[in-house]
Amino acid sequence: MAQEKFYNEYEELKNNLEDDEEILFMDGVHPQHNSTCASAWIEKGKTKTIKSNTGRRRININGVYNADSQEILINESETINAETTIDFLIEIEKYYQNKSRIIIIVDNARYYKNKKVTEHLETSKIEFWFLPPYSPNLNLIERLWKLLRKNVINNKYYETFKKFKNSILDFFKNSGSYKEEIANFIGKKMQLFDQ
């Protein structure tokens, strides 16, 4: 019932949004430099070898997604913590400087609930709306991460970490060229599961 309650509150917020207000969806993602086999056609009785890496290196990205404009902002850093989250929130405020209120829907990750982040938000035009626990289906940016995996990570092998990282960052850098695919894949509606 917590998901349904959140969904209804979100719909009310969306329907009463002022022109100088914005709603964004935020989350962190940590792709590992390793092969991920999502699907393969292998003849019965045959063995297929898949190249892989150690998976010890990863890229850390904090991102926001605007469901109305399909705008994507990311912050790539060594780690996602309170400091890098605050730096990203400052970037978001600059990007949406013409907005008086920015509502960001987030999960309950420690770096979003950190005391320093909470203190920063007290003097910010950004307001966090925390999702109910275990509700990734309500965070539209989760679908963006799925699209990233589909287009860039799954069934692909990257010899070096640099090539892996550049391919991921290029996905976001060039996201404007496939806005229609993003809009269709992600949509604008949260998905409620039967509880």
Q: What are the structural domains, with CATH classification, of the chain?
A: 2-32+49-186 (3.30.420.10)
**Amino acid 41: pLDDT:** 67
For residues 63 and 144, the answer to whether their CB atoms sit within 8 Å is: yes
pLDDT at 84 over 80: yes
Angstrom distance (rounded) from CA 101 to CA 175: 25
Cβ-proximal residues to 102 (8 Å cutoff; 6+ apart), any chain: 21, 22, 24, 92, 93, 96, 125, 126, 127
What's the pLDDT band for 46 if we cut at 50, 70, 90?
confident
Q: Is 132 exposed, middle or buried (CB count within 10 Å of its CB: 0-12, 13-18, 19+)? A: middle
Please choose, from the candidates 86, 84, 121, the residue with its C-alpha nearest in 3D space to the C-alpha of residue 101: 121
pLDDT at 114 over 90: yes
pTM of the model: 0.90
Half-sphere exposure of 121 (CA within 13 A, CB side): 18
